[in-house]
Structures are given as structure tokens and as C-alpha cells.
Structure 1
């Protein structure tokens, strides 16, 4: 009889312990969600109070933040000091639209809607991970130096990558982007700037290349 009671007490304590652990997990998840919401609100307020609140990308960044639950593994934002350091290391001046993204949203993420955005901390150029390419690559019947193509992400689900055309001279310093595809070994679907690219991403909530390659010429699905 004693053994039976001890077994019941032991089993009950296990159940209580398990329930307490589950409650703690739920509580921790809830606390994290609340903290995330507080951080998101702070970032949105920071955008609205900044001198760039009328910039076209500011509205897009607010949309990204409002739909934060649709993203995964978003990296922390960068400070002005960190941005200056990265630009010095690159020996390049990053486009303002992209710097605002880094400053108010985050410096990358594995799943921004359904598109990866690489970490600018990694500073990946197309030549770094596609060393089989020639020195130059074709875009609109022009030749672009591969080592000048800074990648927005090192590689997507199709094995391709969106790249900044860092040598293209523009009045506002907003580099265009183009998509490197494994299927034709060329740059494709040039967009004028990061704001345009981000607008397509938000509208489609999927991979930007699949939205543009709707005839599946590149086999992007």
C-alpha cells in the first residue's frame, strides 16, 4: 500500500513539474513576444521621428516592422558608428535606402517574408562564392566586373543572388541591383534601387526573382 502511495505521489510530482515547465515556456514565449512588440514600436517611432520620415523607403520599413511576425531570424539593427565602420571596410558609400533598412529594421534575416537578405557584416561579393566566373559578367550587353558586385544575399533557394551594381554612377547614390542566375551565368532583371526591390518583396511576400521571372525563363519556379 505504501509503495502504491509513493508511486502516486511521485507520478503526481512529475506531472506538476511538467505542467510548471510548460507554463514557464509559455510565459517566456509571451514575454518575448511582448518585448518584440515593444522593440518594433520603438523602431517605428524612431522612423517617424527621424529626418527621413518622408523618404519613400520609410513607409516600406514600417510595413516590414508591422508584419514582423512573418519574418524569421531578423538580425539586430546597426548603429551609425557600425555603418561608418562597414563603409570604411568596404571602401564604399552604401545607398541611403539600404542604410535606413540596416538602421531601423535589421542587418539581415534568413526569412524576410520568403526571401533571404544576407548580413552586410559578411560583406560578400559575387566573386567570393562564385570563383568559377570570369573576371566580367554580362548585363544588358555590357560587361560588369564580378568583384564589384556586392551581394544582397550570398545565395537564394535557386542558387542565384541579387547583387548591387556598385560601380554604376547615379545622381542620388542609389545603386541598382541585378539578379545573378545559375541558369544563364548572367545578371538579369535589373531594378533601379533597393527601394524598388523592397517594394516588390512587400507586394509579393515571396522571392523577388520569382515575381519578376513570371515566365520562368530562369527556372526559378
Structure 2
């Protein structure tokens, strides 16, 4: 995985900001309230994640709340990050999060609610339902989770990109997005009210950013889709 410095170097080079013996107009790290290229890199990461949230997908074990209604994963569920979106549940992980169990099958919300009328609270999840259009922050499980039970499952969710604080930090997303990040950063720098401003070039780089994201999406859509499966730990 590329480092932030790999992208920053490309941007500085495009801005002709790497001339020997000359002070950089756009330092990588902010100093005394100035804006640095790291700020533009973090903004570019957020822009990529907005269009391709899957680039920041996380799959890990979480603890469910009592009842059917669940909030999308967060720190209170033992998740490593606060979710910005939800993909689904994969399999049961026992009462301690360390024992893989049966797969959890997706269901339509209305169908799951019908099943719920006949379901009793249990320590294992059979189905989940999620409708982003109705409430992106909530999903449901069946059978309901008992009040006094620890129930862990493996889940996949979207998280915000990790903030880059140093050129030595890893990007945190696939290297395939590096050129998109470069173009977004150049568009941001060139569209500002500064000596580097150039509206035409800014628009050009933003078009290239959108083209890069679109091309990546098209390529991914053509890749073979693996069949759903649940393996061992």
C-alpha cells in the first residue's frame, strides 16, 4: 500500500514545487495555521470514500444489542471505527466472538418482521434486514437478541477514511485510487484564491478525478463475482 508521501510527491511535482534550493509554496504539513498538502489529501480521501465507500470497508466481529433493532456498528459494539454505512452480517461468532458459527442470511424487512412474530429471543442470529432508503442507521436481526446474552457476529460496514497526519502514513485505501487523489488535490489547489489559481486547470483535474473514479467502478463491475460462502476462522 502506498504512503501519503508517494501521492504528495506527485502533486508537488505537478505544481513545480520541488525545485532544488527553493522554498516550497505548498508545504506537505501545515505550519502556524497554514494549509498544507496533507489537508488537501485528507479532503481527497473523503471525496473518494463518498463515491466509493467500499474502499473503506471493514469486516470484523461486533457485539449485538438486545432486541431486534440494531444501530450500525460503532465503538459501543466493539467495532474499531464508527460506521458511515452498513453492508451486512456474515456469520455468527458465538458468545465470545471467537467461535465461527452458521451464516446469517439477508431478508426483506417486511418478511423478517413477519418471522419475528413467531421468533423467540435466541443467542444466535439467523437473518438480518437492512433498508438504507428507510433508515441508513438501523438494521434488524431475527431472532431477537436476549437481554442478558452476549451475541457476537461478523459484520461488514463502511468507515470514514483514516486521517493522514504524516507523509509516512499509509493511504488506507487501494493504490488504484492514487491518481484520483492526485487529480482531486490539484483541482482543490488550483481552484483556490492563491497564486496557483487556474480555474481551467482546476476544472480539467476535477474531470480527470471523476473519470478515474468512473473507470475504477466500471472495471470492478466487470470482475467475476464470488459466490457467497462462509468458511472457517
TM-score normalised over the length of structure 1: 0.22
In terms of fraction of residues, the more helix-rich structure is 1
Bigger relative contact order, structure 1 or 2, given CA contacts below 8 A and separation 6+?
Answer: 2
